[in-house]
C-alpha cells in the first residue's frame, strides 16, 4: 500500500510501479471477460480461467491489447502500464480472486504470479 496512490476503500490487490507504456502480460491463461474502462480502475482487463477457478484484474492501463471473449495464454501482452482512473502515477494495479462456494473471493496476488505481469522492454 504505497502512499503515492489514492485509496478510498479496502485495497484487495497490489500496485506495481513501472514506467508508462511498459507491457503488461497475462499472469495466467484465461478468457477476457472485461477489456474496458471501469470507473476508478481506469482502463482494465479481467481474465478468468474457470478450469483453475482463478480471476485476475489488471488496472490503470494506458491501452488495452485484447478483446472481450477472447482466450489469451500466459505471457501474452494484454495492455500497457498507465495512470488511468484514480491514480497519481504510472503503475499496474493487480488483483487475484479464487472461485469458492461463496463466489469470487480475493486471494493473495503474490501467490498467483503477480510479479511476472509487468515486463520492461528489452
Domain with residue 62: its CATH number is 2.70.70.10
Name the least confident of 9-13, 83-87, 118-122.
118-122
Whether 45 maps to a domain, the answer reads yes
Q: How many CA atoms lie less than 13 Å away from 80 in the CB half-sphere? A: 8
The answer, as to whether pTM is greater than 0.85, is no
* Measured distance CA(73)–CA(39) in Å, rounded: 27
pLDDT band at 37 (very low <50, low <70, confident <90, very high): very high
Domain extent, residue 28, equals 14-99
> Looking at the predicted structure, is the pLDDT value of residue 119 above 70?
no
Q: For 6-10, what is the mean pLDDT? A: 45
Whether 90 maps to a domain, the answer reads yes
* Measured distance CA(18)–CA(32) in Å, rounded: 23
Cell 497490489 -> residue: 14
Best CA proximity match to 55, nearest among 95, 101, 10: 95
Q: For 21-34, what is the mean pLDDT? A: 95
Amino acid at each position: 500500500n504505497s502512499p503515492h496512490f489514492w485509496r478510498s476503500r479496502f485495497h484487495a490487490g497490489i500496485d506495481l510501479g513501472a514506467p508508462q507504456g511498459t507491457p503488461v502480460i497475462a499472469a495466467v491463461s484465461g478468457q477476457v471477460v472485461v477489456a474496458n474502462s471501469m470507473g476508478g480502475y481506469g482502463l482494465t482487463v479481467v481474465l478468468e480461467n474457470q478450469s483453475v477457478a482463478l480471476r485476475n484484474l489488471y488496472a490503470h492501463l494506458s491501452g488495452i491489447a485484447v478483446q472481450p471473449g477472447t482466450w489469451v495464454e500466459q505471457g501474452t501482452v494484454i495492455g500497457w502500464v498507465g495512470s488511468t482512473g484514480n491514480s497519481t502515477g504510472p503503475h499496474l494495479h493487480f488483483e487475484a480472486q479464487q472461485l469458492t462456494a461463496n463466489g469470487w473471493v480475493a486471494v493473495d496476488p503474490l501467490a498467483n504470479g503477480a510479479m511476472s505481469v509487468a515486463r520492461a522492454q528489452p
